[in-house]
Structure 1
Amino acid sequence: MRLGVIGLGLIAQAVHLQNLQTLREKYQVTHVCDLSATLAAQVAAEYGGPVRHSTDAAEVLADPEVDAVLILTPGTHAYLARRALEAGKHVLAEKPFAHTTAECLELDALAAAKGLVLQVAYMKMYDPIMARARAELASLGALRARAGDRAAPRRRPAVRPPAPPALRRRRPHRRRHLLRAGEGGPRPSATSASRTCRSTPTCCRARSCTSCRCCARLFGEQPLTIAHAQAAGLKPGVKLEEPPQLQALGTLGDAQLSLSWNWLPDFPDYGEEIAVFGSAGRLYLSMPGPYLRDARAELVVESMQGGERATTRLVSDHRTGFVHELLAFHASVTEGAPVLSTATGAAYDTAALQQIARSLA
């Protein structure tokens, strides 16, 4: 598959470009793009082979030597995803995908109408340990509670030359318009058509969308209701200097749900854990940091078997979720395999985040 890469910052340099080299029997990078012409030229030269480079995404989308695009730009990605689909390109877009549920649903419909693949890069959904964890839920009996906890260290951006001011002004500034465009909708569901919450904090979106997808991968997109949310460090009228500590309580299906996101600026280790408690056992899922190529997910299941307590510990295979999501994208494009992380799934997450924002407000 001939691939164009749009956005060459931290996630591209630390993860995706290296994985594409590993999967070079399936992918040929033919065009790279960044607002920094220096960085785009450097990446093209270092990648090897005849790789074109540009500073305008339109050149990638018009390139006949590009079959699909990997969108790695900052912020949300609905605008570029729409342009790519309209140009006839398959799309793998990083998260958070869109500001509104309407955009998510519209773009899924657009991809289907054009016969193209649209996949959102929720890499943890593709870690094989997620499917095993879902299979183990049956041994836990009736589920009582689910808890998610995430501790994020301060990320240090990759060194990159700045873009000229004229190029920086090209990026469409649509966020303020979108956040004023609509209002919060009903509880999340796979077909939710709610619009947007006026006050969804970007920091909350970026840190919680992956956790929402992990829950959806494990339990399915069950009705999710947020009854209470609070954020340490969030004060009316005071500008946020860094992400707050965020807690949310609610229900997912028939079980209680507790979510926690913690910003740890002076602690270097990232951690994300999901705990599930049932009438007959417990499950603990620990996900690795996103930029650690050698870190693996770990699953611990405690249950009763024949009157005895049994503990099973499993560790993921040698390939990270980032690699598995690229393999899945390739299979969807070339073989028609179903897309696991759809834009409609991103709409479910957006609706959940709207509930959190409304509770905070």
Structure 2
Amino acid sequence: MSRRISLGVIGLGSIAQIQHLPNLARLDDLFSVKAVADISPRLNEAIADRLPGEVFTSTDWRAVCSHPDVEAVLLLTSGAHEQVTGGTLRAGKHVFSEKPLCLTVEGAERLHTLASRRGLALQVGYMKLHEEVLAELRDGLEKIGDLRLFRHTVYHPDDSVCLGPVETIRFDDIDHGIISEAAAFEQKRTVEALGDLPADWGRLYREVVAASFVHCVSFLRGVVGSLPRLTSADMWRPSSSEPPCILARGVYPDHSRVEMTWLWLPSYPAYRESFEAHGTQGSVQLRFPNPYLRNRTASLQVNSADTVARHPGGKQSAFVRELRHFHRAITTGEHPDDALGAREDTAWMQDLVAALALKHGLRAAGEAGRRR
């Protein structure tokens, strides 16, 4: 019988309420929530009241990390997670961190070293790499000949479209001082990553590239095993009030090309995301589900020289499977190397923003500048 892991959950916003907390309830043979923390006191109480047993609450994440009944922490706050992840590891707790883990390469390396030295699991929420059809995808890549092109495309509508009928609870009682403290930390790390670029570029890096485009980057790395050399980048902003659309291109040593496109389409009818690979003998096409809908899985089609194979998806969502993976990492000691993957993703995303800035006559410094 599997050992139950006592959890603390930090951050109780949309993704916690829509995916992680319901999935933890389904996996009550593997996990029990003993403590929660959010900067909204009323949200803390509302969520704790829905959970079984006595649940400790606090607006200070440090109180959850130091709680004696907590063995591992799910870090589900918005923004980057370096500061809280580091504090949690130093408190001796295993960590599941939503992405992005860090804004700097150095930060990812430091967290990897810290987790390794303390013998703790550090997993990043790259849920798309836990889709059940991933084995069939990798097998399909072996059947389509010499690879010529990888293409990953995101059609991202406004959050109101993404969320659809899903209801979440929130209260207007947050401590803005805590938000300001976190923002100051992220700004410091942004300067270390990119130098002193104008503020809009820092927001682009943090709020679009590291927060959402990261899924394209991390998925490609996870499937192929490495990231391509960035060859070009483009960005266009139809309105000053909207996030920009982004197109990045790259090339692998075998000359196969990569296109990653992130489109902001505020009134698009539904969230849509696809990954394709095209080779000399066929293609693979993977369709991802809307991440804000529960119990949905990716579907795959493999068109090879002599067959068309369709895989409608598995029985468990990627969100459930990544929690199971976290449990195995803790109980078996087979810890993931996600922080090293985050290091590669972070460097690539820094280079992307630096390339975009250069097209506007701005030269990045910091970690990105030292690599150019």
- TM-score of the superposed pair, with normalisation by structure 2: 0.87
Q: How far 1:296 sits from its partner (Å)?
A: 2.1
Q: How far 1:211 sits from its partner (Å)?
A: 1.2
Match of 2:348 among 348, 352, 356: 352
Match of 2:339 among 330, 339, 343: 343
Pairing 1:126-137 to 2, within 5 Å after superposition: 126-137=130-141
Instruction: Give me the whole-angstrom Cα distance separating, in 2, the residues matched to 1:132 and 1:93.
Output: 27
The worse-fitting range, judged by mean Cα deviation, of 161-170 and 70-79 is 161-170
Corresponding residue of 2:308: 311
SS in 2 for 1:85: helix
Q: How far 1:295 sits from its partner (Å)?
A: 2.4
Instruction: Give me the whole-angstrom Cα distance separating, in 2, the residues matched to 1:344 and 1:203.
Output: 21
C-alpha distance after superposition, 1:126-178 (max 9, x if no partner) = 11211220122111111011111111111148441121445545546212222
Instruction: Judge conservation of contact 1:201–1:357 (CA < 8 Å) in 2.
Output: no
Matched to 1:181, the amino acid is E
CA 1:148–1:172: 2 relative to 1, 3 Å: closer
Instruction: Give me the whole-angstrom Cα distance separating, in 1, the residues matched to 2:273 and 2:286.
Output: 8
The worse-fitting range, judged by mean Cα deviation, of 35-44 and 287-296 is 287-296
Corresponding residue of 2:243: 243
C-alpha distance after superposition, 1:81-116 (max 9, x if no partner) = 000000000000001111011101110111000000
Q: How far 1:353 sits from its partner (Å)?
A: 1.0
Corresponding residue of 1:260: 261
Corresponding residue of 1:279: 280
Match of 2:186 among 135, 151, 175: 175
Instruction: Give me the whole-angstrom Cα distance separating, in 2, the residues matched to 1:171 and 1:202.
Output: 14
CA 1:87–1:172: 2 relative to 1, 3 Å: farther
SS in 2 for 1:273: strand
Q: How far 1:291 sits from its partner (Å)?
A: 1.3
RMSD: 1.9
The worse-fitting range, judged by mean Cα deviation, of 155-164 and 206-215 is 155-164
Corresponding residue of 1:204: 209
Instruction: Give me the whole-angstrom Cα distance separating, in 1, the residues matched to 2:316 and 2:216.
Output: 20
Structure 2: give runs of 5+ residues left out of the alignment: 196-200, 358-372
Instruction: Give me the whole-angstrom Cα distance separating, in 2, the residues matched to 1:102 and 1:228.
Output: 25
C-alpha distance after superposition, 1:34-88 (max 9, x if no partner) = 1111000110011121111111101101100000000011100010000000000
Matched to 2:171, the amino acid is P
Matched to 1:348, the amino acid is E
Matched to 1:90, the amino acid is H
SS in 2 for 1:228: strand
Match of 2:219 among 214, 221, 224: 214
- TM-score of the superposed pair, with normalisation by structure 1: 0.89
Pairing 1:135-214 to 2, within 5 Å after superposition: 135-156=139-160, 158-162=168-172, 163-169=174-180, 171=182, 173-183=184-194, 200-214=205-219
Instruction: Judge conservation of contact 2:89–2:115 (CA < 8 Å) in 1.
Output: yes
Pairing 1:66-77 to 2, within 5 Å after superposition: 66-77=70-81
Q: How far 1:210 sits from its partner (Å)?
A: 1.0
Matched, 1:65 2:69: yes
Matched to 1:212, the amino acid is V
Matched to 1:262, the amino acid is L
Corresponding residue of 2:360: none
Corresponding residue of 2:49: 45
Q: How far 1:214 sits from its partner (Å)?
A: 1.4
- Taking every aligned residue pair, what percent have the same amino acid on both sides? 33
Instruction: Give me the whole-angstrom Cα distance separating, in 1, the residues matched to 2:57 and 2:253.
Output: 48
Corresponding residue of 1:293: 294
Instruction: Judge conservation of contact 2:149–2:278 (CA < 8 Å) in 1.
Output: yes
Corresponding residue of 1:322: 319
Match of 1:31 among 32, 35, 56: 35
Matched, 1:80 2:84: yes
Instruction: Give me the whole-angstrom Cα distance separating, in 2, the residues matched to 1:200 and 1:292.
Output: 26
Instruction: Judge conservation of contact 2:236–2:246 (CA < 8 Å) in 1.
Output: yes
CA 1:105–1:46: 2 relative to 1, 3 Å: same
Structure 1: give runs of 5+ residues left out of the alignment: 185-196
The worse-fitting range, judged by mean Cα deviation, of 242-251 and 4-13 is 242-251
Matched to 1:139, the amino acid is K
Instruction: Judge conservation of contact 2:298–2:312 (CA < 8 Å) in 1.
Output: yes
Matched to 1:213, the amino acid is S
Instruction: Give me the whole-angstrom Cα distance separating, in 2, the residues matched to 1:166 and 1:147.
Output: 42
SS in 2 for 1:14: helix
Instruction: Give me the whole-angstrom Cα distance separating, in 1, the residues matched to 2:139 and 2:110.
Output: 32
